[in-house]
Amino acid sequence: MIGISVAAKKEWEAVLEKYNMNIEDCSKFPFGEYFKIHLYGQDLIFYRCGVRKMNCSASTQYMIDHFHLSKIIVAGTCAGIDDRYKNLDIFIPNKFVQYDCTVKETEPLIKDSFTVVLDWMGVNGINTGTLGTADKAVVMWDDYIELKNHGITIADTESAAIAYICRANDVECIVIKGISDFPTNEKETSKEESHEEQFNVFLTNIPIIMNTILDNYLEFAIKNHIRYSDYSPKSVSIQK
């Protein structure tokens, strides 16, 4: 069975609407809801894993243990970091980094030990790149610039943690993400106004992105295989 992991409530609502499901039609598990369908010749279980790294990591392990998943496909939205791209662009990343796992004042922002790399260079014009994950959403301009300077392409609060758990369980993981918004410079208005503007764009773009993923990318992710690359963590020393 293949799992389709969806984090945010609004993303989940778009999935339910797509497949003509109501919340009452779903089964419950400790972190959210799920339903099963047969699609593209495969048995699928769609589930809402919950936002942030704790919920998504726990729900990933739960689903692997209880439904013996052979693959997890993460479908959802993300913040844009690399400004060569634009809102609504879709990605299947080939590198996942957790950038909130270090003391960045004395260590590198990104450690190999919290990095997952896939043997995937992109095909058929599908965008790829590095996805950065942290419990803190990328809203503040300084955070955006920091990630941009470290070569992050897109960012969210779940995917790298899910990929980390999948690799630990030797379960294939494919992430499909669409850019819902870019941070705006709060120095030009205020932090509150900047955040609200970004959030409103995010809400508007969620259903567009989810429908695009489900219509145009899900079948590809179900029928194709992307393997993990051999990637040995390097030792890290404290910066002086």
Q: Which domains does the chain have, with CATH numbers?
A: 2-223 (3.40.50.1580)
Question: How do residues 180-196 score in pLDDT, each as one tens digit?
Answer: 999 988 777 777 777 77
Mean pLDDT of the chain: 93
Which pair of structure tokens corresponds to residue 20?
A: 């003509």
C-alpha to C-alpha distance for 195 and 45, rounded to whole angstroms: 34
pLDDT of residue 10: 96
Which pair of structure tokens corresponds to residue 25?
A: 């039609």
> What SS3 class is residue 20?
coil
User: Whole-model pTM?
Assistant: 0.92
Question: How do residues 130-183 score in pLDDT, each as one tens digit?
Answer: 999 999 999 889 999 999 999 999 999 999 999 999 999 999 999 999 999 999
Nearest to 129 by CA among 73, 176, 161, 71: 176
The mean pLDDT of 60-68, rounded to a whole number, is 98
pLDDT of residue 235: 58
- Torsion 208-210-211-217 (CA) sign: positive
The mean pLDDT of 87-113, rounded to a whole number, is 93
